[in-house]
């Protein structure tokens, strides 16, 4: 696993967790609030072979 950070640009809603995808993206649980600069970083690790990511929030 290679350590690093996943960067997501979100000016409005932050990062949300969904148990399942919905048409209008309702029902998500906020895991990281939207920061002032709009950039969210989730630290963790990834495997480039099987494309699995483990992220800390």
Binding residues vs Zn ion (CB under 5 A): 47, 49-50
Q: By C-beta, is 24 or 50 nearer to Zn ion?
A: 50
Q: How far apart are CA 20 and CA 22, in angstroms?
A: 6
**7 DSSP β-pair partners:** 41
Q: How far is the CB of 51 from Zn ion (least distance, A)?
A: 8
CA atoms within 13 A on the CB side of 52: 4
Q: By C-beta, is 19 or 49 nearer to Zn ion?
A: 49
Q: By C-beta, is 25 or 47 nearer to Zn ion?
A: 47
């Amino acid at each position: 696993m290679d350590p690093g950070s996943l960067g997501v640009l979100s000016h409005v809603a932050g990062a949300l967790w969904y148990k399942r995808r919905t048409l209008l993206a309702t029902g998500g649980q906020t895991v990281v609030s939207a920061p002032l600069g709009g950039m969210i970083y989730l630290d963790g690790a990834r495997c480039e072979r099987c494309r699995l990511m483990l992220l800390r929030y």
